[in-house]
Amino acid sequence: MFRAATSSIVKRAVLRSGSRGAPSCTVPGQMSFHASAKREEEAKADAVAVESGKGGLFGTGLSEWFALPIGVAAAVPLIKLEWYVVNEETQLLAVFLAFCVTFYTQGGDAVYKALDQKAVNLLKEHHEVEDKVIQALEHKLEALKANHNMVNDFEAINTIRRETYEKLNKAGAIKPHHDFKAQVERMLNMIVVEEANVTEKTKMALMSEATASVTQKFSSDKALKKAALDAAISKLKGGKADDPVQAAFIQFFKDKAAAAAASKDDSEEKAQREALIAKMNSVAKNEKFFFEFDAQGQPKLVV
């Protein structure tokens, strides 16, 4: 019984002596080390440690360090009178207490820091995971907000589509008029070009015919040759003589005009008109015009 009481007193004294350098999270009476991320738990542990130490040595209010000299003083008569026998159990207890005190005082901080660093790393990883979860939830919230506005977007799209169709209908009512105007202008330009080509061809043909006729006339008549030569010499000398060649060309064109006025043959004009109508109908068919021309050159709508 004395051995158990003495062991208990010495153990409590050693534990109290090392509590000053112990971490704030250490609970008195326990040889354990742990780390906590919450300051509230450390504060509670300190409060428990203070409250448990109010009694002092055997409730007298004295420091528990006095247990050491009292234990030594009591151990002398106990050992002398052989009330307490120092054996291998006592030595083993002393060695174990020395190991506990040494480990507590020398390696406690290292163990505490290691455990505390592990707690910090765990807390950091936990925060990273929480950040990722929060970010994912924020993305989901944005997607839900976007879906919430989808109805308004579709309503706006339908409104724009309806307005566009109305504008297209108005433009569709005007577009045929513009197309018809462009087609008529195209045909008029084609007629002007064809008439210009026919006129040019007629001029070239008349000039060729007039040149051949005047050349043949002057070649066969010596008097005309002499008159042309005299007129040329007079012009070279600065005189004013009538040109028989010019007079011959003028007379040819007068005779040609009179013959054309007296002639009732319009086959050439009909052929030219038919060729022009065929060409215009070909363009109208290829380009899908609203009209085409009949044999008399009158336009008619294409059904």
Q: What would the DSSP string read from start to end of 102-147? A: HHHHHHHHHHHHHHHHHHHHHHHHHHHHHHHHHHHHHHHHHHHHHH
Query: Which is more confidently placed, 99 or 22?
Result: 99
Q: Is position 20 within any domain?
A: yes
Q: Is position 40 within any domain?
A: yes
d(CA 301, CA 180): 11
Q: How confident is the model at residue 225 (pLDDT cuts 50, 70, 90)?
A: confident
Which of 65, 97, 116 is at the close of a domain?
116
Count how many domains the chain has: 2
Take residue 21 and report the two structure tokens written for it: 């350098």
- Which of 41-45, 166-170, 216-220 has the least mean pLDDT? 41-45
Q: CA 26: distance to chain centroid?
A: 59
- Which of 170-179, 185-194, 214-223 has the least mean pLDDT? 214-223
Q: Tell me the β-bridge partners of 212.
A: none
Which of 75, 99, 116 is at the close of a domain?
116
Q: What is the pLDDT of residue 34?
A: 40
Q: What is the pLDDT of residue 37?
A: 44
Q: Could you list the residue range(s) of the whole structural domain that residue 290 is in?
A: 176-301
pTM of the model: 0.38
Do 24 and 50 meet the contact criterion of CB atoms below 8 Å apart? no
Do 249 and 217 meet the contact criterion of CB atoms below 8 Å apart? no
Q: Is position 242 within any domain?
A: yes
Take residue 72 and report the two structure tokens written for it: 């030594």
Burial class (CB in 10 A: 0-12, 13-18, 19+), 249: middle
259-279 pLDDT, tens digit per residue, is 777 777 677 778 888 888 888
Pairing of strands 291-293, 299-301: antiparallel
Which of 116, 137, 152 is at the close of a domain?
116
Q: What is the pLDDT of residue 56?
A: 66
Average pLDDT on 76-103 reads: 81
194 and 273, same structural domain? yes
Q: Is position 287 within any domain?
A: yes
3-state secondary structure of 8: helix
Q: Is position 188 within any domain?
A: yes
Q: Is position 164 within any domain?
A: no
Average pLDDT on 160-172 reads: 88
